[in-house]
Amino acid sequence: MKKNRLIALTAICIVSLAYTSCKKDTPDPGPGVDPCTEKNWYEDADGDGLGNPNVTLFQCEQPDGYVEDNSDPIDKEVQRNKVPFLMKISGETCPPCGGWGWTAWEDLSSKFWGKGFCMTTYGTFVSNGNFRGQELDAAAGGSAVIQAFQDRFWSSGSKPSFYANVADNGTSAADAETDATNSLTDVPDVAAVLEATIEGEQLTVTSEVEFFDDMPGDYVLGAYLIEDKVVGYQAGYSDPNNAPHHFVMRGSMSEGKPWGEQIVTGGATAGEKHTKTFTVTIPSGYNKENLSYGVIVWRKISTAHVYVNAYTTQGL
């Protein structure tokens, strides 16, 4: 009998200890206090009440700067900054483009790394068509952006040519630098921001454009893919068959549309915002680690497109 009673008391002690140890892991909140229920909270960096599904905290109380919603496609605030647009209009079979023009472009683009949107185009004339054939639209029979940009902006007739914002400065990289530098102090009427994600081979860019003043006219938003250090032939370079080309224009993310998608017709009002999502499959020959993305807001005047402002991931 004593043995049975001892066994029973031992069992009660074990159960009691197990229960106590459980209670230590989940403390009793005390009388009249509801137990804590943890949940996901999503960062709302731009304060619009919509949360970023990719930035979360899991806890009971709502943290500062976080919300329950997770539907914000772009959780960044548009900054009212001018982003210079810089382009080298080049050609693969142009010796000066691979000689002094190569050095000038390296110097110019490095000065605006993190401040400007840089790209190199290779339209017809002193070109072997190599990069036009690799452009996103090439499979559809076009080399839309490279040729369209040269046709629209190349007025000097010389290569290399250095373009900044709205002016072809010809062979003067110094003049392009001056134009771009002066524009950095401009207070723009419209600005943009973007978020980019890659899942497998699919690139998605979501951009928001905000107008800060009333603006007449029609506006178009283009999203562009740029690749740095693309190895290919370049006349005039020290090792012409293995030249690492800088900021090669890879194409528009709107198939068959070098200028992008129209977002405003007939004018915009101050405070007006537009969100646009672009998706493209990255070709297997592109190096994803060397890619950058940018969006450009163009003003459409008849059939011409005039640069207004940009946003880019270059230098971020």
Residues 173 and 278 in one domain: yes
Between CA 42 and CA 56 the distance in angstroms is 5
pLDDT tens per residue, range 51-97: 777 677 878 988 887 877 776 667 789 999 999 999 999 999 999 99
Number of other CB atoms surrounding residue 204 within 10 Å: 15
Q: Which residue has the higher pLDDT, 272 or 13?
A: 272
- Using the 3D structure, point to which of 75, 106, 129 is the last residue of a domain: 75
3-state secondary structure of 2: helix
> Residue 36's pLDDT is what?
80
For range 128-148, the mean pLDDT: 82
- Using the 3D structure, point to which of 28, 48, 75 is the last residue of a domain: 75
Residues 242 and 300 in one domain: yes
What are the structure tokens assigned to 69, written together?
């919603």
Residues 54 and 168 in one domain: no
- Using the 3D structure, point to which of 20, 46, 75 is the last residue of a domain: 75
What are the structure tokens assigned to 51, written together?
């949360």
Residue 114 maps to which CATH number? 2.60.40.10
Distance (Å) of CA 307 to CA 149, 157, 174, 179, 231: 11, 20, 20, 13, 29
Of 80, 37, 64, 109, which is closest to residue 270 (Cα–Cα)? Answer: 80
190 domain residue, yes or no:
yes
For residue 295, report the phi and psi dihedrals to the nearest 5 degrees: -120, 145
Residues 58 and 126 in one domain: no
200 domain residue, yes or no:
yes
pLDDT above 50 (res 16): no
Residues 132 and 273 in one domain: yes
AA letter at 92? E
249 domain residue, yes or no:
yes
Strand partners, 207: 194, 276
117 domain residue, yes or no:
yes
Q: Which residue has the higher pLDDT, 36 or 30?
A: 36
17 domain residue, yes or no:
no
30 domain residue, yes or no:
no
pLDDT above 80 (res 240): yes
Residues 200 and 265 in one domain: yes
Averaged pLDDT of the chain? 88
For range 119-139, the mean pLDDT: 92
The angle formed by the CA atoms of residues 312, 181 and 210, to the nearest 5 degrees, is: 40
Between CA 111 and CA 105 the distance in angstroms is 10
Residues 237 and 99 in one domain: yes
Q: How confident is the model at residue 33 (pLDDT cuts 50, 70, 90)?
A: low
CB 294 within 8 A of CB 307: no
CB 110 within 8 A of CB 118: no
> Residue 18's pLDDT is what?
44
> Residue 34's pLDDT is what?
63
Is residue 314 classed exposed, middle or buried when 0-12, 13-18 and 19+ CB atoms within 10 A define those classes?
Answer: buried
Between CA 228 and CA 247 the distance in angstroms is 4
Strand partners, 39: 59
Strands 273-281 and 202-211, how do they pair?
A: antiparallel
> Residue 262's pLDDT is what?
97
Q: How confident is the model at residue 2 (pLDDT cuts 50, 70, 90)?
A: very low
> Residue 104's pLDDT is what?
98
Helices and strands, counts by H and E, the chain: 6, 17
Residues 92 and 70 in one domain: no
15 domain residue, yes or no:
no
CB 251 within 8 A of CB 283: no
pTM over 0.85: no
pLDDT tens per residue, range 176-226: 999 999 999 999 999 999 999 999 999 999 999 999 999 999 999 999 999
66 domain residue, yes or no:
yes
Q: How confident is the model at residue 269 (pLDDT cuts 50, 70, 90)?
A: very high
pLDDT above 80 (res 231): yes
pLDDT tens per residue, range 116-128: 999 999 999 999 9
Residues 129 and 273 in one domain: yes
AA letter at 63? P
Residues 63 and 181 in one domain: no
Of 200, 202, 198, which is closest to residue 280 (Cα–Cα)? Answer: 202
What are the structure tokens assigned to 248, written together?
């090669």
Domain span at residue 62? 36-75
Number of domains into which the chain is organized: 2
Residues 149 and 203 in one domain: yes
Number of other CB atoms surrounding residue 145 within 10 Å: 28
Residues 172 and 66 in one domain: no
